[in-house]
């Protein structure tokens, strides 16, 4: 998945967008969601997914006012 696609998925999760991935995520328990974000952060640190700074910037921009 491209970096832009990864950012789009994270934006969708952060804003509760009506997408297949967001709907699947919505079915997770609170503990599973916490584990998901923890693992995502670990993968960002290792460089396997979009860089952390880019992801944070993306989520700030998409945050509703």
Residue 52 has pLDDT above 90, yes or no: no
Long-range contacts of the stretch 57-64 (C-beta < 8 A, 24+): 58/7, 58/10, 58/11, 59/10, 59/11, 59/14, 62/11, 62/14, 62/15, 63/14, 63/15, 64/15
Q: What's the pTM? A: 0.66
**Looking up tokens 């290792």, which residue turns up?**
46
pLDDT band at 60 (very low <50, low <70, confident <90, very high): low
Domain range for 45: 3-62
Indicate the number of domains in the chain.
Answer: 1
Residue 15 has pLDDT above 80, yes or no: yes
Q: What is the DSSP letter of 50?
A: S
């Amino acid at each position: 998945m491209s970096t832009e696609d990864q950012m789009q998925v994270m934006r969708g999760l952060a804003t509760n967008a009506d997408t297949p991935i967001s709907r699947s995520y919505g079915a997770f328990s609170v503990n599973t969601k916490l584990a998901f974000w923890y693992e995502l952060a670990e993968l960002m640190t290792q460089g396997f997914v979009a860089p952390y700074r880019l992801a944070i910037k993306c989520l700030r921009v998409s945050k509703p006012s």
